[in-house]
Amino acid sequence: MAEPGGAEPGGAEDGICPWCGTDPLYRAYHDTEWGVPVRDERPLFEMLVLESFQSGLSWITILRRREGFRRAFAGFDPDILARFGPADVDRLLVDPGIIRHRGKIEATVANARAALALRDSGPGLAAFLWAAVDGQPLTNHFTTGTEVPGKTALSDALARRLKQAGFRHLGSTTVYAFMQAAGLVNDHLTTCPRHAEISVGA
């Protein structure tokens, strides 16, 4: 299952998805953000970047540093990030507010440039991403966490398209986690109140 950060299941007496446990920050993310369809370019870009940084780490680690990432990466403005050079990368490598990983930082700059290229060529990032699901969220009907896949044929295809478009550090598992988070797919369990709420809102 491509749960955010691979959080250990537990504490789902109220029927909500068990991966968020009882941590207030995690619960708030589950209750208000995860799975809600996002169609604006900048938040989608932010989510792609944060998912790329989550690879190999727990999602709560990323959530606790999200404001640090926003500050360090100029509010995830691709126009600004695309101009970052080696000195900026070196500066970010000593920034305690983010995950200091050279490959992921350099990928973020490359991904900003790729996002601008998509905008300049016509479709833009949002249309490019949502084309993976024909513009409409996919609603799954899983009853247990073990049913939820870590990746799918759709995430395989989108990861390939992103790579072809110049994006880096976005494999199929990371892309599926992004699809879940950004609401391209609704993977809340059917026992979770958010499953129906998002399905109606979508």
The CA distance from 81 to 192, in Å, is 37
Catalytic hit among 3, 41, 46, 51: 51
Residues across the chain: 202
The pLDDT tens digits for 53-69 are: 998 899 999 999 999 99
Residues in the chain with pLDDT < 50?
1-3, 5-12
19 is a catalytic site residue: no
The catalytically annotated residue of 19, 26, 34, 59 is 59
Which tens digits make up the pLDDT trace of 144-170?
A: 989 999 999 999 999 999 999 999 999
Torsion of CA 84, 163, 179, 92, to 10 degrees: -20
- Active-site option among 19, 26, 29, 130: 29
Max CA separation in the chain (angstroms): 50
Beta bridge partners of 139: 186
pLDDT in tens, 5-14: 333 444 445 6
d(CA 118, CA 63) in angstroms, rounded, equals 27
**What's the chain's average pLDDT?**
92
Is 59 annotated in the active site? Answer: yes
pTM of the model: 0.92
Q: Active site includes 33?
A: no
Instruction: List all residues 6 or more positions away from 10 whose beta carbon is below 8 Å from its beta carbon.
Output: 18, 21
